[in-house]
Every structure is written in structure tokens, then in C-alpha cells.
Chains A and B, each alone.
Chain A
Amino acid sequence: MNGERLLWVDSWWSALGGDAPLPGPVAAVLALSLAFLFVVLPSAYWISLLHRKFAADLQARVGPNRAGPGGLGQPLADFLKLIQKEGRQKRSRAERIWMGVHTFALFSTLAVLPLGTMALLVDTEISVFIPFWSLLVLALGAMWIGLSRPSVPGWFGGIRAGAQTLTGAFPALLCVLTAGMRADGFSWSALAGSQGANLLSWGLWGQPPFQLIAFGVFLFSGLILLGAEPFDAAVSKGDIQGGVGANLEGRDLAMFSLGRFYGFFFWSVMTVVIFLGAWNLPRGFSDWLREQHLERLLAFLELSVLLAKTWLLMLGVVWFARSNPRVRADQVTELSWRVLGPLALGALLGATLWSAGGWGL
């Protein structure tokens, strides 16, 4: 844990009237809980609602309009409905422990969720690689859920989830390496610091056209890795009737959906931080806020910028998913191996030569 970076928790703590500074572990747990409660869950709520409204608008439908004013309460109504229902399948003690460990492993990556210069809990030289752990846990979990289903669709879904993860992770990692070439490091602060608030100073325009290629590949390979629409052959309702989640319902389905959302959200945050200007405010403005000791306002504005970009990116993905038919599982893996992989390799090679030749200087 980076003690200095916990300033934002201390700052809020003192603002709330706390006299003594919080002990490090308490501050860390508090930070993680706050990030989950005030960033991840509200994002899940709003993205779920906006997704449905936006998709309905695209499809000339009304969309949710019953729960709450203008349908605003629909995600809450769905969540409450699901958590009141028990799953059909009774779990053994060993299964419950495994599910607990899996859930913990998935959400443990909250520690590296980058939310701004003032809200970086863990910012090591390999920070950017740590979320892959979460995504692989998610994919592995989806695979095992599928394989343990007493149905053929679940089994196919499990196999597809595993295959897609392997094929998606390879180009995605190459793209992270490419971005690291530009930023000269793999910490969140290095990646974010190598970009500016101005659109033209975003990472994707660096070392043209290699970073742009890396951005595109990173985005698509992430969707493949996560099995997001339209690369959702592992969980699709159309061709294998539910796939991995075929027999999930009630609380299990709620947790499964939240886990998938978390993966998608984290991936979008990563994309924004690596390629889309991160949380950067105009440099003079952020310096002035620091000089005025307005850290809390700075943290809030950075978080707002980051979330605005992330949500827009997620809605862009929704638009893409709703405009395109589902891609077959074998076509997804083929796209990954034959197109995204070579493109990512090319981008990495180009960025390496660029950095070695000093053209970027």
C-alpha cells in the first residue's frame, strides 16, 4: 500500500471530524469499501439503467418506465427481486467456500482501481497488469460455472468462456506493453501522467499510428476477454440458450451479473486511463487546486472526469453491441488470433522502434 496515496481518505476523515489519523489497514479497507459503495455500485446502477434506456431508444422501444419516476428505479427493483430468490441448486459447503474465495479474488482488484491522482491506493510499477488477475478470475469462474452446470449449453458456455479468455488476453497484454512504451512505465501515475486533458494529447494519438492501433485492439480484445456483447457467445441467449448462466437465477444470477459488470467497468476504466486521457484536468487548473489545498475538490473533479469518460465509453460499447449481430465463438477466437494478435504485435514492434529510435522525443 502506498501510504502517501491514502491522503484522500485521511482528508475526508478529518473533514468529517476525525481527530487522529486512521491506521493504515483501516484506511485501506475504508478506501476499498468507499470505492465499491460510491463508485462501482452507483456505476452499475446508472449504466444498467442507461444501457436499457439507450438500447430501447435505439430499438424504437419505450424501455423501463414503470419502477419509479420515468423508470429510474428499475435497476433497484431488479436487484431486490433477484436477491429475494434463492438459487434452485443447493450448494455444498465446499462450493460455498469456493464461491466465496472466487468473489473475494474478483473484487480484491478494487485495490488497484485507479480513480485519480488523489485516489490511487496501489500504484506500483506493475499496477496495470494486476487487473488482469481479476479478469482472468472472472473468466475462470465463468468457465467453471458453465462446466458445473447439468446442461449441454452450460458446458459449451464454459468451454467458450475459457477459449475466449485465452485468445483475448494475449493481444490485450501486448497492447498494455505498447502503452507502457509510450508512457515509459506501467504504473497508473506514469500512464496517466503521459497524457493531458486536451483531446489531442490523449495516449491514443501518441507514436502514430501505433498507439491508436493498440487502443482499438485493447478495446476489442477486452470485450472478447470479458465475453461482452456482441462477443458473448459464452453466455448468449440465442444460440445456446443462456450458456454459462443458463441455470443461474435469483441471488446467484445477481452476483454473476454484478461480477460481469465489474469486469466490464474495470476494463473501461483501464482503457480510459491508458489511452483516453485518464482523469486529467487542465494542468494549470489542477496545480492551482493543489496550491489552494483543495485536494478534496481535485479528487472529486478527477473522479468525475474519469467516470464521465468511462460511462461514455461503456455506452459506446452498448451502441456497438446493439448495432451488430452476435459473432460466433469460433469466429471470435479466429478474429483474436488472426487479426487482433498480429495487429497488437505490429503496434508493439512499431512503438518499440519508435522509442528506441527516439522519434518521440
Chain B
Amino acid sequence: MLEVLKTDLTRWVIGPYHPLLPGAMRLHLDLDGEVITEAQVETGYTHRGLEKALEFQAWRALLPYMDRLDPESAVFGELVLCLAVEQLGGITPPPRARAIRVVLSELSRIASHLLYAQRVAKCVGADTAASYIGRDREKILDLFELLTGARFSLHFLRYGGVAADITEGFLERVLEVCELLRYRIKEYNDVFTFNRAFTERARGVAGLELVRCRALGISGPAARASGSGEDLRKQLPYSDYEKLDFDIPSGASGSSDVLDRFLMHFREIEQSMRILRQLSEHMPSGPFRDAQISASFQPPKGESFARVESPRGFLGCHLVSDGERAPARVQLRTPSSFLLGAIPELLRGARVEDASLILASLDLSLAEADR
């Protein structure tokens, strides 16, 4: 009888392609009943050799590649590269260009955070909330299309500015979307966020302590939910963020569970809307790009490092130029790579049916982690 009713551990290997996972990865789980006793993560399935590929491209051709670093928030890849190249070439984009970049960044952050919320809702079977959130995210993609002609891979930033000036009525549409989202977030809260069935599933699950965030190098909303309060937009401002009035939300308990991390994303959306309102009402005038920078621009020999606060955290770009037509070296620091390190300890002790929720709560982008 004992041989029939085996009570030893079960091993479940999930992936690399599985709807439970946030992307192409393999998860090795040891289970005691429905409780995960050990977890290992295997990644690299979407490795495209992006950093190496960039070394073979002309400076001008790098931007579309960086769009693909994290397709869900493409503009941040472009932005970090532009900042690094501009640092290398000693270029200062005009104020209007910097403001347009911030508008695009914050819209991208909201779109990415909404997609995150949609994924979390789907993980727990809240299809109605997921559908509402997806519907509203489309409004932001409409804005991207209005400004850049594209909805995902925008390819809109240029060294020294942006590709085109903002179109007529764009800023008014931004304000409308902000206003719409303001009460839609209340709707999400009513339908989903504060629904007891969700809070019961998310509260106390997969606690991530601030100490562990620091040890693992985790940044972004996951770290801020644990109380880090660190955000590059305030710590090392770029693109005139220092001139804008906004706050960095932060958790107070020194640890965050799935619910804390989820709520943090909505708190950040509110701050992004504050920024967008300010820029929409006071958009600087002037040129939208530095006319001195030609299409065949090549930065001089040297090294630079730029960093931006992407929706997932600290995104860095290290560039080395030897004065040739292509960069000599490109290295990227992506926040998702560091989030991966937390997965084994967060899954350990959790129930197997919470695995997808825990993974979704980290807001991973396997595309940028594997790059």
C-alpha cells in the first residue's frame, strides 16, 4: 500500500514555454504535496546576443535594436542608449526634446504597469479586471501611435532629441487619458484590488525583505514596495526630472508581499500621471532636436555609462567607443536579471498554485533579462 501512495517529493519541470510563466524560462520545482520545497530557474531561451549584435551596427542603427530590449517598454531602451551616446558626444538635447522624452517615458511606464496589473489579474482568474485594464492600456498605445506612428517599437528617440515634434492635440489627449485613468483606477480597485478573494490570495505570499533586495541588487517597484525609496529619477535625475514635482512611493514595513508589490504599481501610475499633467500644461517651447547632430553622427573615442528608471527598475547602459562607425562595446544592466535571483527563495514554501502569481508579481521581462 505504501508503494502505491507515494509520499516522496514530486518534481515538476515547467517550461520553457508555458502559460504559467512570464516568458521563456524553465522552472524546476520540487513539491511536497502542493507546497514548493525547492525551486530553480533556468533562463537564456530568448538570448539574442543583443549586446554583441550592437557592436556590428552603425551608431544610428542601434536605436531600433534597443527598442527590442524590453518590447513592453521600448522607449526606455532607446532612452538609455541616447543618454549614453549623448554623454559620450557631449550633446545636450533641447528642453522640449527632453520633455517629450519624459512624456513618452511616463506613458510607457503607465502602459507597462497596466500590463503588469493585467497579468496579475489573469493569474488569479480575474478576467473581467484584466479585460478592463487591457482596454485602458490601449488608450496609451493610441497615444504612441498618434505621436510616433507605432504602438510598440516606437523608434522615436534620436541622439540629441526626438524624431519629430509633438502633433497637434497630443497633449490634450494625454490629459484626457490621465483623467480617464484617474477614475478607472478606482474601478480596478473596486473590481479587483480590494476584492477579498484577491487580497486573501496575495497578502502574506512571497515576502521579499529590503535586506534581500539590496543583497540581490533588486531595484524598481519590487524594491520600493519593500521600503527602499530609491528611484533614479530623484537620486540621479536625467531629462529634467529634477524640475518636476512628484513623489517616490515607498513601502513602510521593510518587506513586501504580492499585494504590496501590486499596489506599488498603482501608486507609481498616480505619480506618472502627475508628471504628465505638469508637462502637458507646461511643455517647453523650442526645437525638438539638436540640429547639429547629423544622421551619420559618430561619438568620439571614450566611455560612458547612463542609467534610467525603467518600469522594472535600474536600467543601465555602458558604452565604449573607439571613434569608429560602430560601438566597440555595449553592456546593459537590466533590472529583470536581478529579479530572477529572488525567484528560488520566493517560491520556496509557497503553494504551487501561487507560483504564477508570485512570478507575475515580480514584473519580469525575460526579453531584457536574456537580451
Contacts and interface: CB of A to CB of B under 8 A. Distances in A.
Nearest to B357: A239
Contact of A152 (B10, B128, B354): B10
A156 B34 contact: yes
Given A241-B19, A241-B20, A325 B353 contact: no
B292 to A, nearest CB: 48
A329 to B, nearest CB: 7
B135 interface: yes
A239 B19 contact: no
A230 interface: yes
B339 interface: no
A327 B195 CA distance: 11
Interface stretch (A22-30, A56-64, A91-99, A200-208): A56-64
B191 interface: yes
Contacts of A61: 131
B132 A325 contact: no
Nearest to B19: A241
A238 B135 contact: no
A65 B42 CA distance: 42
A153 B34 CA distance: 11
A330 interface: yes
A304 interface: no
A233 interface: yes
A324 B127 CA distance: 9
B352 interface: yes
A329 B125 CA distance: 13
Interface in A235-293: 236-241
Contacts of B20: 239, 241
Interface residues of B, number: 33
Contacts of B132: 59-60
A55 to B, nearest CB: 8
A331 B356 contact: no
A328 interface: yes
Contacts of A152: 10, 12, 31
B351 interface: yes
B34 A325 contact: no
A102 interface: no
A112 B200 CA distance: 39
Contacts of B121: 325
Given A230-B197, A241-B18, A327-B197, A322 B352 contact: no
**Which of the listed residues A61, A237, A324, A331 has the most CB atoms from chain B within 10 Å of its own CB?**
A324
A229 interface: yes
Contact of B128 (A58, A233, A329, A331): A58
Interface string B92-110: 0000000000000000000
Nearest to A242: B19
A323 interface: yes
A331 B12 contact: no
B191 A236 contact: no
B351 A240 contact: no
A230 B198 CA distance: 11
Interface in B113-167: 121-129, 131-132, 135
B356 A238 contact: yes
Interface in A296-351: 322-331
A59 B126 CA distance: 10
Nearest to A61: B131
B314 interface: no
Given A60-B135, A241-B19, A241-B20, A325 B351 contact: no
A233 B353 contact: yes
Contact of B352 (A156, A238, A323, A331): A156
Contact of A325 (B12, B31, B195): B195
B125 A236 contact: yes
A322 B356 contact: no
B192 A329 contact: no
Interface in B283-308: none
B267 interface: no
Interface string A41-69: 00000000000000100111100000000
A152 B20 CA distance: 13
Given A327-B197, A331-B201, A237 B19 contact: yes
Nearest to B124: A325
Contact of B122 (A58, A156, A238): A238
Given A230-B125, A325-B125, A239 B192 contact: no
Nearest to B18: A241
B123 to A, nearest CB: 6
B362 to A, nearest CB: 16
B351 A330 contact: yes
A60 B356 CA distance: 25
B126 A239 contact: no
B131 A326 contact: no
B353 A329 contact: yes
Interface in B186-220: 191-192, 195, 197-198, 200-201
A152 to B, nearest CB: 4
A230 to B, nearest CB: 6
Given A152-B12, A238-B356, A59 B125 contact: no
Contacts of A324: 126, 195, 197
Given A238-B125, A239-B123, A240-B352, A325 B131 contact: no
Interface string A162-203: 000000000000000000000000000000000000000000
Contacts of A232: 125
Nearest to A330: B351
21 contacts: A58-B128, A59-B128, A59-B132, A60-B131, A229-B125, A230-B125, A236-B125, A239-B123, A239-B124, A239-B125, A239-B354, A239-B357, A323-B128, A323-B191, A324-B126, A325-B121, A327-B200, A328-B200, A330-B351, A331-B200, A331-B201
Interface of B: 10, 12, 18-20, 31, 34, 121-129, 131-132, 135, 191-192, 195, 197-198, 200-201, 351-357
The 8 closest A-B pairs by CB, nearest first: A326-B125, A59-B131, A239-B353, A325-B126, A325-B124, A152-B12, A325-B198, A325-B197
Interface of A: 55, 58-61, 152, 156, 229-230, 232-233, 236-241, 322-331
Given A325-B126, A325-B192, 18 more contacts: A152-B31, A156-B34, A156-B353, A229-B125, A230-B125, A233-B353, A239-B124, A239-B352, A240-B352, A322-B128, A325-B121, A325-B124, A326-B125, A326-B197, A327-B201, A328-B201, A330-B34, A331-B201
